[in-house]
Structure 1
Amino acid sequence: MGVADEMAMQIRLLNIPLGWPGSGMIRYGAAMYLHSRGQMDDALLEAYRICCKLDGDDPIEVMQLRRQRNLRP
């Protein structure tokens, strides 16, 4: 599997539907992959970390709330 194929697979994993059992941890794993390659900032990675055990919570909403409250990762 090439780098482009791996990146595409990780993006698909990042976008699996909310609420699936284990989906929060899968999304967090994909987020760590993207972050390690400079494709995701610290604040968004932190939102995925917060949601990793909360399969139904949306990391984008968490990040937006944290930014509104001016919380740092």
Structure 2
Amino acid sequence: MPGPIDTGILEKAFPDKDAAAQMRGHASGMVPMKRFGTSEEIAKAVLFLGFDATFTNGAELPVDGGWSQL
């Protein structure tokens, strides 16, 4: 369950740089870690579930900087 991840989509969705920066600031402000996640952090969670969590079944793994815990 990824939260806001820095993928560059905001810049494509909001060509106006000020609007993209405002949206980024708003979303970051709602995350307890006060930042966007990275694609590397998502990849680490996927690798964990794929290789290390061998006895895990039907679990949701929030990778959202604490957003879902609010």
Which has the larger share of helix? 1
The structure with the largest alpha-carbon Rg is 2
TM-score exceeds 0.5: no
Higher relative contact order (CA 8 A, sep 6+): 2
What TM-score, normalized to structure 2? 0.29
